[in-house]
A and B are shown apart, each in its own frame.
Chain A
Amino acid sequence: MDMHFDQHISRQFNEDLESLKTEMLEMGGLVTSQVADAVEALANADSEQAEKVLRIEEEIDKREMAIDEHATLIIAKRQPAASDLRMVMSVIRIARDLERVGDEASKVAKMAIALTDEGTAPRGYTEIRHIANAVRKMLNDALDAYTRFDVQAAMRTLAEDEQVDMDYRSAVREMVTYMMEDPRSISRVINVLWTLRALERIGDHAKNICEQVVYLVEGADIRHGHESNLKNT
């Protein structure tokens, strides 16, 4: 089904929905770059860049609140139905996911600061870089799928989360061996674990965004393993 949000009889409604979507995608862009910055700060042991990530966090929180408010206004004024309603609902949910992604990025940034302070060789960074690349791609793809209302792309991205989870589990196992090999590295490796955990969570949020794409386009709620709700694709 084609999605058109620019064909309402009310031009104002068109504009409201359009700007809501734009706001959300802008927030998405901000969050994506925040994730990239955090991972980079970690890789380059750049505490300054990490500080910048923490500052952007505030901006992201503000954006989420603005989106919530605008969505509430649209519901109050227009009583959206069907695809419009799903659009507004998905934007609200995605904004919340994005805000959480932002939180996770902040955690990564904090780890970057902590790991920089310790100043030792970055063990486990390969895994972090690997998973970080995977979840950043997922986040990008999810937002891209949303922009294009592309259910297929969303489903593909959604499937990638499993790989991320597997990578995460193997990375955890590897970290556990590090800790067993060298008990002195425990505190540092725990920080790396936290970072991995945060990145894995970002992957989950990207998955949630993909689910919202499916909800928006197909009207089927496939969250929490209810893929069967999606009948005809």
Chain B
Amino acid sequence: MNTMTLDAPGYSEPASPQTLEKETVDTRTKVRETVGTPFCDNAKLKMRNVNVFYNETQAIHNVSLDIGRNEVVAMIGPSGCGKSTFLRCLNRMNDTIEGCRVEGDLTLDDEPIYGPKVDVVPLRARVGMVFQKPNPFPKTIYENVAYGPKIHGIGSRRAELDEIVENSLRRAGLWNEVKDRLDKPGTGLSGGQQQRLCIARAIAVSPEVILMDEPCSALDPIATARIEELIDELRKNYTIAIVTHSMQQAARVSQRTAYFHLGHLVEVNDTETVFTNPEHELTEAYITGRFG
């Protein structure tokens, strides 16, 4: 099996047994509709027929998905499959990217996320985000956590802010490690601590949804385990969407798993189904590490 089927879609060459075989493979695995259970009853976020374009290139093709309350949905897929792009639609982080256009209906508690009347500032306070690389501000630990409440005018008095900072750090499981050095720079913490600081910073504004874009890809297994434990803890209060490259992580932390492939949402199913008996062949091929 050394006929690589990873060629670009536009690839063509005179018909030969190999290309014929490839074509049959392509038609067989062509993505038309999402299989599995993309919708749920208790949806916090509803996305319907979402298309995302970067200038003329379409990055997301007609994706529909619900994310339920107090649910962790993992998004997996090969690099460039659009899972991060899709995640970033949910709090409009794509707005800053030149030439990025989002079509479709996206709602948070049935209120539109996109639209001329929607202000992104309160939206992002409701939909927090944790990034791939831990990116604390080059400020003190305290200021890192207090920043969100300050700009949104949540904690006006110092005592109030102190309380928010402590609670957020406690929830992020970082309080005991940093309570004696709140005035030290956040960048001086270890990678795992920095990421938990970023999570504390995100939850300091009491968001309803937390988006995580490969939050553990820069962390060692111990720090990763802590974050995963934290995600499970946070699920009680928040709705979480997580993009990850680690299939084991998706299997561990999520209730449902969505598999993206070349901008299509191929399959959404209960995580156990996806990892023991996925419905779609592409999902199967991806999670078992087979040739695309």
Contacts and interface: CB of A to CB of B under 8 A. Distances in A.
Interface stretch (B48-56, B160-168, B200-208, B271-279): B271-279
B291 A86 contact: no
B176 interface: no
A13 B289 contact: yes
A82 B276 contact: yes
Contacts of A10: 289
Contacts of B288: 8, 80-84
Contacts of A81: 247, 251, 275-276, 287-288
Contacts of B16: none
Contacts of B1: 6-7
A17 B287 CA distance: 16
B290 interface: yes
B248 interface: yes
Interface in B278-292: 278, 281, 283-285, 287-291
A87 to B, nearest CB: 10
A85 B276 contact: yes
Interface string B238-268: 0000000001100100000000000000000
Contacts of A79: 247-248
Interface of chain A, helix or strand or loop or mixed? loop
Given A1-B281, A6-B1, A7-B1, A82 B289 contact: no
B278 A82 contact: yes
Contacts of B276: 81-82, 85-86, 219
B277 A86 contact: yes
Interface string B10-38: 00000000000000000000000000000
Contacts of A9: 289-291
B277 A82 contact: yes
Contacts of B278: 82
Contacts of A8: 288-291
B216 to A, nearest CB: 16
Interface in A59-107: 79-86
Contact of A7 (B248, B283, B287, B290): B290
A85 B289 contact: no
Interface string A18-62: 000000000000000000000000000000000000000000000
Nearest to B28: A2
A4 interface: yes
Contacts of A4: 290
Interface in B34-88: none
A179 to B, nearest CB: 50
Most chain-A CB neighbours within 10 Å: which of B284, B287, B290?
B290
Contacts of A83: 284, 288
Contacts of A85: 275-276
A83 B277 CA distance: 7
B244 to A, nearest CB: 14
Interface string A210-232: 00000000111000000000000
Contacts of A80: 288
A82 B287 contact: yes
A4 B28 CA distance: 15
Contacts of A82: 274-278, 283-284, 287-288
B291 A7 contact: yes
Contacts of A7: 1, 285, 290-291
User: In this complex, which of A1, A10, A81, A220 has the most chain B Cβ atoms within 10 angstroms of its Cβ?
Assistant: A81
Most A CB contacts (10 A, CB to CB) among B281, B287, B288 go to B288
A8 B291 CA distance: 6
Interface string B145-181: 0000000000000000000000000000000000000
A84 to B, nearest CB: 5
Contacts of B291: 7-9
14 contacts: A1-B281, A1-B284, A8-B289, A8-B290, A8-B291, A9-B290, A9-B291, A79-B247, A81-B276, A82-B276, A86-B276, A218-B277, A219-B277, A220-B277
Given A9-B290, A84-B288, A86-B277, 20 more contacts: A1-B281, A7-B285, A7-B291, A8-B288, A9-B291, A13-B289, A79-B247, A80-B288, A81-B247, A81-B276, A82-B274, A82-B275, A82-B276, A82-B277, A82-B287, A83-B284, A83-B288, A85-B275, A86-B276, A219-B276
